[in-house]
Chains A and B, each alone.
Chain A
């Protein structure tokens, strides 16, 4: 007998022993597919907030060391968890990351027969350590340090950007711009603001029939973005430049830009054959290849590079009952070097720990909660209560916005 004959016999024998999948296999597949699509919609929305999850220890704006008021809640590197709160009411933080805000979103119909996917923010008051509802803004980007936020008023695209003092709730200053803005992101040092410009509202929705024949609002998909370019603004000076960006068919609706790690490029998600693809541009708006360190990052995984730049947070790679794991990659080669607990990696706590969405135990639906996870450990520390799905694809229950906590 030859070795290939033995391989053939062995495989056939093994196959013959297998029983067929149980009844209802197709329905199980369809149910899992529905769950994943729900989650992907949530990730797409979360990707828009990825821009503020970047981390680095550089001072920002004018919040000085004498500001003892905020020290109590924003300093330190301990873990503040509220596993009984969903959405969170009291400060959640771990290591260098702080939950600076969270928001919900839902379709709000307009007189013209379209709808706008409308966000409502709860912003951290650094004085009280509580999240307070502030429904004045359509979009909020919190600066590193979580004391200042850049805000856009309700009507988008907006011609002015507010700099909001999170302690007083007042806009200290307005920056006016030539091109209408729909999205905002700070640089890692907080000194520059990247404002993505759109010709029309980036959160428009269209009416569609859903699977059961009912009417549903869905985000616009498929080459319908009105994105026109971006401003790079010096926060202190309140001035900057605008760069046009060519239209692309693989950009849909809201696709905000964010700074690359060193701030010399910008990137945004594009739709392609893989989830989380991204396209980089130089500051003049010209498409360029990804920097070496960021080539293997995914635009839909907000955590991106570890503080020391040696590890890249990547996507969901494995799931078992009540448990999921995400990949940690070598940023230079893209090779997976570890798996860490968590379904969606949101922010780095230090060079070994991250904050993630992870499924809560229980049957059925994906019910995530914020958790603290550690590379090399299966331990999961809940930071928030469980976000219960509301059964609709059309709303976002609450999405976290993490920024770097200042020492």
Chain B
């Protein structure tokens, strides 16, 4: 179920919230768990079983880490450490194993097959369970926290399961750490103010997704439809910018909706985006873009590998590992790997040369980021490497065939999308956020939110009646 669907907005959410508020506080975690499983199960009736299975296995293993035999033993600490290690390793094998099978098997098998020249490994053609990348990472973070001892005592099953499957962040993040919700899992106050503000936040997220991301997405789609290779540089850049906006507002909108829903339920879901397009360097961009994912890789991959404390060469090696995996986490294809490695390259260069200077400049840093980011998004967007090369070529005026999409089309696109483009630029700056926090309690903010909400619903309905609206033919 998507947040931006009638099923969620007018069926699931109101019913769930009513039940959630009416039941006594001690049953709320349970209601949240059941609600989340229903939320997931409606869209993924079979994979919900996989989710439950994963949660149970992980919970069992995490309990095993804390388990102590009653009888007195020698080498207590040593044995405990060994148990912990066994539990951690087996949970990592299971979690990443499942992720690998569902997400990466086919990619790996196809490439190995083509290398071997014959069919060595079967291609399974499995569909990807929704949100598996997100919930796997959450479970792994819990296991590692238990292993490290930052998680001092085991959570109870219901709390753990509702932490993993909590519907606001189940399918598109943010990747929450258990300690961020642990207190609230134990007891949380549900205040009418929080429900009110959470709902407002949710509405804002919905608007970002439906009114900005979905709309600007059609521009990117239109340009790609004409075909990479035929584009004038200006059109190619316009497409790249449109896609940059689309992916940002889509993902940011989802994260804001998750924060809003979390607030309504009495949780604090961490912020995932902090105006990334106003960064002055690529490193700053990644401190502001998908913050919880960056944090996960930093805490559970980069630091354990030694981070930047073991010499320059080792640091570069660690960055390489982190960015290879960050790239592949986003998708199992060569372009995602390339995308990750592009960031590895940019960040390595920045870290070792001009990074500091860049961040202290005003204009140059912004320009630098704004020029590079659309290029990285193009690498992210186009999975077909041949098309990708053509598109990137077009962006820099390299054409192998005649330019078919030029000034005339550019003018038409601008005529059609200029309002939306200006809106997107505005919402990529911090000002709307500031205004929101300043005026969110005023009556006109309430009316504005109401307008956004119903306008979004209207757009969703139009889209539902005409499933091809966003690809209008």
Decide whether A and B are members of one complex: no
Give the A-binding residues of B (Cβ under 8 A).
none
